[in-house]
Amino acid sequence: MDKKLPLKIIFLNVGHGDGIIILLPDEDKYKSAIIVDCYDGRKAYKILENYNIKNIEAMIITHFHLDHYRGFDILFEKIKKNRIKMKNIYYMPDKTFRENDEKKKYKMFLNKLYILGINNDFVINSSCIDGKNESKSIIKNEEIEIKIIYPRLIDITSECNVNNYSAVLQLIYKNNKILLPGDLEAKGWFKLYEFTKENKLTLTVDILKMPHHGAFYEENEEKTLGTNEILQFIKPNYAIISSAQNKKYNHPDIKTIKKLLDKKIKILCTNSTDICGKEGPCFDDIVIDIENSINIEKYDKKIKTLRCLQKDFK
């Protein structure tokens, strides 16, 4: 009898931010994890504790905006205290010339990270793809492959928007594909699209974590990819939106929701906002199990009760 557990991906409800945990199956237990962004260190640690995870294969900071890395400080502390082994950290060095508060925080964070790395023996890697390589491998065996497919050194320009340098991760498990693009915006998507076209690669996936918390990108600017074009390029069946009510950003954008509904892409949000009537967290933490197919905990049951999807968005 095959007792092996499914691969589990958890999109934590962290409000306006990202926190993704991938639990790797090992026969009848989950022993190791990969963490992609961490806005809420306590919540992320709780998952590791619940599944008794003692080994972290990799942590990836897609880019240095606080809603993607603020929680790592707390998570590191808890990991150290509880003697969880950490192997690798991937991050994209911030080469932008922004000299603001965020850059100061980034520098302080990196100092701490390197001291922690020296004392605890884990490897700190750049997530930037070197030379002409197509991708940077995080993990690869017969069943699973997780790789960084963007950015390359050549993609780094004078662009000051760090969202456009978000590490983009592709996960392939038993023919199921997931794309985690951080907060990649229209200019970054265009570069990724051009690269895949030139190299005759396909990037269609089953699940797309919507970039930048469901923001909408228009399509009229040159050398950019709008939301509609991104969805045509990636062709997801499911769209995950990690967001919450936030007066400053208005994410997700109603135009994104409409576009997803038009294309009959199944939407899963970690939290509710004004556009869906604020009836409390939507899916809350989104738990996805992947064996030979994709199974989303309580999806069918939940979807029937969601007022937001029954609302007329036209």
**Residues at the contact surface with Zn ion, assessed by CB under 5 A:** 65, 67, 163, 183
Q: Which is nearer to Zn ion, 155 or 183 (CB)?
A: 183
Q: Which is nearer to Zn ion, 136 or 209 (CB)?
A: 209
What are phi and psi for residue 36, nearest 5 degrees?
A: -115, 110
Cα gap 217→166, rounded to integer Å:
16
Least Å from the CB of residue 65 to Zn ion: 3
Q: Which two tokens stand for residue 145?
A: 């492959």
Least Å from the CB of residue 249 to Zn ion: 9
Least Å from the CB of residue 211 to Zn ion: 9
Q: Which is nearer to Zn ion, 67 or 155 (CB)?
A: 67
Q: Which of 155, 214, 215, 210 is nearest to 188 (CA)?
A: 155
Contact 63, 165 (CB under 8 A): yes
Torsion sign, CA atoms 276, 10, 8, 206: positive
Cα gap 71→39, rounded to integer Å:
4
Q: How many CB atoms sit inside 10 A of residue 199's CB?
A: 9
Least Å from the CB of residue 234 to Zn ion: 19
Q: Which is nearer to Zn ion, 7 or 184 (CB)?
A: 184
Q: Which two tokens stand for residue 273?
A: 């906002």
CA 293, chain centre distance (Å): 20
Q: Which is nearer to Zn ion, 65 or 136 (CB)?
A: 65
Least Å from the CB of residue 23 to Zn ion: 23
Q: Which is nearer to Zn ion, 40 or 67 (CB)?
A: 67
Least Å from the CB of residue 96 to Zn ion: 12
Contact 218, 226 (CB under 8 A): yes
